[in-house]
Amino acid sequence: MNKISIKHLNKLKKNNIGICSATSYDASFAKFLEDSGVDIILIGDSLGEVVQGNKDTHSVTMENMIYHTMNVARGSKKCFLVADMPKDSYITKGQALRNANKLIGKNMADMVKLEISKEDIKTVEYLIKNDIPVCAHLGIKPQKLSSKKKYKKIGKTIKENNTLINESRLIEKMGCELLILECVHHETANKITSCLSIPVIGIGSGNKCDGQIRVLYDLLGISFNGVPKFFKEHIKSPITNTLKDYVLKTKAMKKCK
């Protein structure tokens, strides 16, 4: 069983084969995703919402990310693992490097992901110069938003379109090896995917990116805070049906005696 590498992901892009990504936070689901053929597992700070039950990702700590990354790494030996850098974990270059080193390496993730704004450019350059593989996150940035009411498609206007394309080219030039686009208008996402040589993974950004990523709990229809509007039509809930069947059979057991 060969470990999936960034070289393999680049080959999938080149050959126009979709890259499948999903989040995981523990060993059991990581193994399940690997056995199902998923290419990339993201240990996402979305755990703040779907695991911890918080309203956003802001309270997720480095300790949380280290713990869940270790669990996922135990469960998956083949998938390419990307770990989120949580909010306020990369305010300075030195802090970013110390924290990134805690998430990657032996028995941990292969890459870290940062929600990148203008003020983070120097930090990203510093990480890459210090041999830290980086996945950039553009579009909607949950760590920057105080309310989900502020979620909206990015890239609809000419200005937003041009800004996103320029930012994408810049992060590739800096040496980022993956890009995630969240809630980017599909036409803008298409342009970015076409003009970059690195794989572009979309979430709520249309179906023309090199791959897609989903929060696992959204896929299963069991997310604590509900499922994103753009995804509701795809929900199937085998877990819900299995548990309901278990409950009904258990409650009927005594009646059979």
Is residue 149 included in any domain, yes or no? yes
Domain interval for residue 77: 6-256
CATH of the domain at 23: 3.20.20.60
Q: Which residues are catalytic?
A: 182
Please choose, from the candidates 142, 164, 162, 137, the residue with its C-alpha nearest in 3D space to the C-alpha of residue 152: 142
**Entry pTM:** 0.92
How far, in Å, CA of 232 to CA of 1, rounded? 35
Checking if the pLDDT of 233 tops 60, the result is no
Task: Give the pLDDT of residue 150.
Answer: 64
Tokens of 67: 């713990």
Give the whole-number percent of the chain exceeding pLDDT 90: 78
Question: Model confidence over 140-150: pLDDT tens digits?
Answer: 999 988 776 66
Is residue 104, in this structure, part of any structural domain at all?
Answer: yes
Neighbours of 108 (CB within 10 A): 18
> Does residue 139 sit within a domain?
yes
Give the chain's domain count: 1
Residue 234 has pLDDT above 70, yes or no: no
d(CA 156, CA 163): 11
1: in domain: no
If you average pLDDT over residues 17-30, what whole number do you get? 97
Does any domain span residue 108?
yes
Pairing assessment for the beta strands 178-182 and 134-139 based on DSSP bridges: parallel
pLDDT digits (tens, 9 = 90+) for 163-184: 999 999 999 999 999 999 999 9
